[in-house]
Amino acid sequence: MAVDIYTKVTCFYCMRAKALLADLDVTFNEIKIDGDAALREKMIARSNGASTVPQIFINDQHIGGCDDLFALHAQGKLTSLIAS
């Protein structure tokens, strides 16, 4: 299982998404894009044009942002997706 999350240091939604993953004991790879135009462009390309942070990927599947992550959790789908 691989979870990648693109973040910026001062982003509240990034903090919330990371906190949820931590609460679920999910290890994730945080990719900080602060001031790094190349990483930001990679994130945008990888997420099919999404330019806001966080952008979250589970097993290379684009999940979306913080609200999308919380929605998956509320639907009971996040744990099974991470386990796959």
Q: For the segment 10-69, what is each residue's pLDDT rounded down to a tens digit?
A: 999 999 999 999 999 999 999 999 999 999 999 999 999 999 999 999 999 999 999 999
| pLDDT at residue 84, rounded to an integer | 78
Closest listed residue to residue 56, CA positions, set 20, 11, 6 = 6
User: Which pTM was predicted?
Assistant: 0.94
Mean pLDDT, rounded, for 3-10: 97
| pLDDT at residue 83, rounded to an integer | 85
Residues 2 and 34: their CA atoms lie apart, in Å, by: 22
- The domain locations on the chain are 3-83
| pLDDT at residue 42, rounded to an integer | 97
Phi, psi of 32 (to 5 degrees): -80, 125
At residue 80, the 3 state secondary structure works out as helix
Whether domain 3-83 has CATH 3.40.50.410: no
